[in-house]
A = this chain, B = another copy of it.
Amino acid sequence: MTKPLQQTRLIALDWGTSSLRAYRLGADGKRLELRALPWGVMQLPPAGTEPNAGFEAAFEQACGDWLLAEPGTPVIAAGMVGSRQGWSEAAYLEVPIAVAHIGSNLNVVCNRHGQAIHIVPGLIENSLLPNVMRGEETQVIGALSLSGDNATGHAEHILIGLPGTHSKWVHVQHTTAQSELTHFDTFMTGEVYAALCGHTILGRGMEAAAPEVASVWHGFERGLQVAGTAAGAAGVLSTIFSTRTLGLTGVLDGAGQREYLSGLLIGHEIAALKTLLQNQGRLPDRVMLVGEDGLCQRYANGLHAYGFAGIEIVQQATERGLWQLALSAGLLPHTERTN
């Protein structure tokens, strides 16, 4: 068997509820190869009845050949694979937490060939309304590694937004010496949007449309504004009904209604976030967005509409985060650069 042309330094797995992405990373964390598989924690491949047979089979498909070609390559994984329903539970670490502390608390599980898989723990913030994340902590670490040096001398407050099924907004106090993850909020915006479109009367008048249709962007922008109006004080349980009535009154067509609801929910999320930030005196110096490109663009527009500045969309945060965590866990030779 011939070795790959470029040596693998790390196998990094982004293993969520409904998908598994396997990165083969080379020197300096450079991406050499990526595989996307449908084997999320809640939908594993058919396998034997032994405990964890589904995880073993998915792992084998994801990177078995890479390990055969280069035995001993370290493996790291983040996401729901470390949950109670995952391969091996990696207990939550408590927020606030120094970011560097996360990499020294990886959980190790060995597969049937004795290969160690280092699993990143999720984070919990205990309060009146507790908050949890799994996987996003890794993206936050990746985003921070791409954030450049803070040469100001004082701690910079970075807000990192991770829009998606459950959006997370993570606060980091960032200095050259240390970064501390101080607080985070969750908004179920993506999942609520899907439930409203698929399982309430709001979805009945909707149609999908090509993204270039003018009414689409118009609908989104119109929805985005609502939370900032006097009527927006009624809150999202009330304002969403206008998706239907603006259809009934002929203002929005089917495609426009779908986009309007998207803008309306994102607008309420960002307006509420701003209220929280103002109440807590936590207004950020800058905002980094991590996630699917089109969705990040919607959130960037929303942040702009509600007066946020210094907004940046970050790429490849997951693989960068897994690389950083492997470094701080000592899985890579110290000669590897951190960026």
Binding site for B on A (CB under 8 A): 124, 126-132, 166, 185-189, 191-192, 194-196, 198-202, 226, 229-231, 233-242, 245-246, 248-249, 265, 268-269, 271-273, 275-276, 279
Contacts and interface: CB of A to CB of B under 8 A. Distances in A.
Kindly list the 7 A-B residue pairs having the minimum CB-CB distance in the complex, ordered from nearest.
A129-B242, A235-B272, A130-B245, A195-B195, A186-B241, A195-B199, A187-B237
A185 B232 CA distance: 12
Copies of this protein in the complex: 2
A221 to B, nearest CB: 14
Contact of A191 (B201, B226, B248): B201
Contacts of A226: 128-129
A6 B77 CA distance: 77
Nearest to A241: B186
Contacts of A202: 188
B241 A166 contact: yes
A272 B129 contact: no
Given A192-B200, A230-B279, A130 B237 contact: no
| Interface of chain A, main secondary structure | helix
A169 to B, nearest CB: 9
Nearest to A131: B245
Given A129-B242, A191-B201, 13 more contacts: A128-B242, A129-B226, A129-B246, A130-B242, A132-B245, A166-B241, A185-B238, A192-B196, A198-B199, A230-B279, A235-B235, A237-B269, A238-B272
A76 B11 CA distance: 72
Contacts of A275: 233-234
A237 B279 contact: no
A298 to B, nearest CB: 15
Given A233-B279, A276-B233, A279-B230, A187 B238 contact: yes
A132 B241 CA distance: 9
B236 A129 contact: no
Contact of A200 (B128, B187, B191, B272): B191
B231 A268 contact: no
A186 B90 CA distance: 44
B237 A192 contact: yes
A124 B245 CA distance: 9
Contact of A128 (B166, B194, B231): B231
Contact of A132 (B191, B198, B248): B248
B235 A268 contact: yes
Contacts of A248: 130, 132
Given A127-B231, A248-B130, A249-B130, A238 B199 contact: no
